[in-house]
Amino acid sequence: MKNLSRPILLFTALILSLAACSKDSPSGPEKPAPVTLNTILVDSLATAETVALFKNLQALSQTGVMFGHQDDLAYGVGWWAEAGKSDIKLVCGDYPAVYGWDLGDIGKDANLDGVNFSQMQGWIKEAYSRGGVNVFSMHLDNPVSGGNSWDNSAAVAQILPGQAKHSSYLQTLDLIAAFFKDLKTDNGTYIPVVLRPYHEHNQTWSWWGKSACTADEYNALWIMTVQYFRDHHKLHHLLYAISPQDINTESAYFERYPGDDWVDILGLDYYQLWSKSSATTLGKGLQMMSAQAAARNKAAAITETGVENVPFTDWWTGYLLAALKYKQTKGIAWVLVWRNKSTDHFFGPYPGHKSEQDFITFYNDSLTLFENDLPDMYHE
């Protein structure tokens, strides 16, 4: 007779091996990680840190307003790209809570304001490491004429799906997506950011403004952009903010609005704070916007504001703070003033400016929040 013991042993070993692989053993296939869905954001697959940021923006806005500054770490009045420097910090001893950046001229070494994109990513990571919040605007060139953002010749109709310039415009969005994909910590965690595309769309200066496209075309552009980033590029660390300019009524705000399914944050750009009466006008607009944000489960913010060269010594408290405190309005997460380029073009304070002391009073007010005032914005 043949020796059957060896085949029997081999067969038994095979059965045991298959049984082991059918269980969750180290050598077997791993189960896919569970997917956590949220029901409050444009992106139901948003990272846990992104969801936490949104919820903290909502919560913090009930007790204070974060202060923000465009390009704060990149340059200021009389300096450029100096490590750790900030005009805001030089004046009050603290960094802003919110940092504004722009993606105009993406694909080049530097953006339209001369900020190197690689350095920008470093400053974004630096701000995040200290607990700050990063927000982005997109002053993109006209995709049809090749002019800049302020070339308001018609373009939107030609870059929508199925149209002649659609594919070439997606190449620009690809560059932006690549930039966002690089925003990670050393351990690989994506840094949550707020994206504010196609801003001030109720104005006429841009190629996405109301004189250059219909409301339907604008809304289609917005939805196409969000879908491309979220669904095609799988970017799940973005919050989406919309920001018309200089309005204070509900009808004006929602005249060109893509819908609640496509917007996380109701923003407002406001550049009319030239008088005490305008502070009241802005205050009424903030009341309306915060009420709408609460009703729609959104956050709200003053996404841009300021008066060039700050000509009033009490502008920070007598104008901006007065608007923020109008009838004890709550629900405004942040206010961001534009950049400090030089003594001929600035919107924030700098050492020696005549509004410096008033800004310190603004800083010390219990309503305003700077970086050192922030809780952990990226965990619930």
The 10s digit of each residue's pLDDT in 287-308 is 999 999 999 999 999 999 999 9
pLDDT band of residue 34 (cuts 50, 70, 90) is low
What is the pLDDT at residue 32?
A: 61
Q: Which residues of 99-110 are buried (b: 16+ CB within 10 A; e: fewer)?
A: bbbbbbbbeeee
- What share of the chain has pLDDT > 90, as a percent? 90
pLDDT band of residue 30 (cuts 50, 70, 90) is low
- pTM for this entry: 0.91
pLDDT band of residue 35 (cuts 50, 70, 90) is confident
Q: Is it the case that residue 191 has pLDDT exceeding 90?
A: yes
**pLDDT tens-digit map of 37-48:** 999 999 999 999
pLDDT band of residue 194 (cuts 50, 70, 90) is very high
Helix (H) / strand (E) containing 359 = helix 356-364
What is the pLDDT at residue 273?
A: 97
What is the pLDDT at residue 188?
A: 96
- What share of the chain has pLDDT > 70, as a percent? 91
**Choice between 366 and 32, residue whose per-residue pLDDT is larger:** 366
Q: Is it the case that residue 157 has pLDDT exceeding 90?
A: yes
What is the pLDDT at residue 238?
A: 98
Q: Which residue is associated with the tokens 């840094």? A: 191
pLDDT band of residue 283 (cuts 50, 70, 90) is very high
SS3 194: strand
What is the pLDDT at residue 136?
A: 98
What is the pLDDT at residue 33?
A: 59
Residues 6+ apart with CB under 8 A from 373: 64, 94, 97
Q: Which residues of 210-236 are buried (b: 16+ CB within 10 A; e: fewer)?
A: bebbeeebbbbbbebbbebbbeebebb
Architecture of domain 40-373: Alpha-Beta Barrel (3.20)
C-alpha torsion sign, points 65, 358, 288, 44: negative
pLDDT band of residue 36 (cuts 50, 70, 90) is confident
**pLDDT tens-digit map of 84-101:** 999 999 999 999 999 999
Q: Please tell me the least confidently modeled range out of 30-34, 88-92, 235-239.
A: 30-34
